Amino acid sequence: MLIRTVVTLAAALTASQPALAQSRASPPLIELPDVVFSADYPILVTELAGGLQNPWSMQFLPDGAILITERPGQLRVFRDGALIEAPVGGVPEVRRSILGGLLDVVLHPDFADNGRLYLSYSKAVDEGFSTTAVAWARFDGTSLLDVEDIFVANTRSQSAVNFGGRMVFGPDGNLYLTVGERQEQDRAQDPMDHGGKVLRLNDDGSVPDDNPFADDPAYLPEIYTLGHRSPQGLAVHPQTGEIWETEHGPLGGDEINVLVAGANYGWPIVSYGTDYDGTQITESGQTALEGFVPPLVYWVPSIGISALSFYEGDAFVAWQGNALVGALMRGRTRATGHFQRLTFENGRAITREPVLLELRQRIRDARPGPDGLIYVLTDENPGALLRLQPAP
């Protein structure tokens, strides 16, 4: 197993033209001094596992192992300090594309008793067409058993991007799922299309009776919120229990949103971004309009926002309550991928500190582990699982 130790210093954020996430050979991790400082800590970063293929999500198991999804379609296990060579068996077949493949993995709230987990993925529905799907299965430690699709979105499309697929269980025990609009903008405001929505499902994929549109025949009953573009992250706020969501804007306009049942977040009617050719998407460049919920935080230019988590551990005490968001952006001359640490005061983001800029790696996922350390996935091919801890 390759163990490489590097360190990082938070630096000024730079960003440039967005690019679609494609599989590519990653540059090597750059050589850095033994210890340098972020705003609060000297940070030691250890590469736990390399050679991953565009890893997308991770999940910590009760026995201390880590499940890792690879976008080409493999589910991997990191256990006892090593990446198990053989992928987990029984994973559903994915339709791999620019941004499609095997996406998120989450555990059932009663996983310790029932061994059940959930996978989101891009599913072939016809020749050349795909959509976002969720399967559940029982995990026996090496294979998935009784695999079954419990939800398949109606976003049938030939598009290779904007699948969404991020999942989280809320405090209510329901499964929240993001579905992207497949870069077909009108889907996000269409109440009979799953695209551009956050959905709320029972743990078996059925519709909760108290969903905001459960009794409205003009809306699909799974819809919890609408008006999203390419939602990339979901997390439960540890103090409020609110569901927070991240999503890509186009050229500018990445967002963090606090989800409210039945609310509309405006895409593509309002946005802080412009189209990739620089033209206006919204009428007269509208960034706000009555009836649409504005973002809690937005970025212009975009950072290529990815997964979202909250830090509540003891290792980085000064970071407790902070939000961590991954960033995928590449500049024209150098990679600018990193993750950002956000602090809040009175409901407003007051600092945004970039971390891991020196690695020049696209960061797909950054989240605290049960040990209070921070674990990071680089969305590269080969990609890596990294661990961050305060340096001695």
Q: Please give the full DSSP string across 141-206, using - where no structure is assigned.
A: SSBEEEEEEEEE-S--BS--S--EEEEEE-TTSPEEEEE--TT-GGGGG-TT--TTEEEEE-TTS-
N-term to C-term CA, the chain? 24
Of 15-19, 172-176, 341-345, 350-354, least confident by mean pLDDT is 15-19
**57-75 pLDDT tens trace:** 999 999 999 999 999 999 9
The pair of three-digit structure tokens given for residue 13, joined into one six-digit string: 């954020």
Contacts of residue 16, Cβ cutoff 8 Å, sequence gap at least 6: 301, 329, 330, 331, 332, 336
Q: What is the pLDDT of residue 7?
A: 39
* Radius of gyration of the chain, Cα coordinates, nearest whole angstrom: 20
Q: Report the percent of the chain where pLDDT is more than 70.
A: 89
Q: Where does the pLDDT of residue 89 fall: very low under 50, low under 70, confident under 90, or very high at 90 and above?
A: very high
Q: Where does the pLDDT of residue 380 fall: very low under 50, low under 70, confident under 90, or very high at 90 and above?
A: very high
Across residues 37-56, what is the average pLDDT? 91
Higher pLDDT, 328 or 277: 328
The continuous run of DSSP H or E covering 365 comes out as strand 363-368
Of 96-100, 182-186, 357-361, least confident by mean pLDDT is 357-361
Across residues 355-373, what is the average pLDDT? 93
Q: What is the pLDDT of residue 280?
A: 86
Domains with residue ranges and CATH for the chain: 4-390 (2.120.10.30)
pLDDT of 12 higher than 60: no
DSSP state of 285: G
Q: In what order do the strands lie in the sheet with 66-70?
A: 55-60, 66-70, 74-79, 82-83
C-alpha–C-alpha distance, residues 320 and 246, integer Å: 20
Of 21-30, 32-41, 178-187, 289-298, least confident by mean pLDDT is 21-30
C-alpha–C-alpha distance, residues 94 and 233, integer Å: 20
Average pLDDT, the chain: 90
Q: What is the pLDDT of residue 359?
A: 82
Q: Where does the pLDDT of residue 31 fall: very low under 50, low under 70, confident under 90, or very high at 90 and above?
A: low
Across residues 349-378, what is the average pLDDT? 93
**204-260 pLDDT tens trace:** 999 999 999 999 999 999 999 999 999 999 999 999 999 999 999 999 999 999 999
Q: What is the pLDDT of residue 331?
A: 59
Q: What is the pLDDT of residue 199?
A: 98
| Tokens 């329901």, located at residue | 174
Q: What is the pLDDT of residue 347?
A: 85
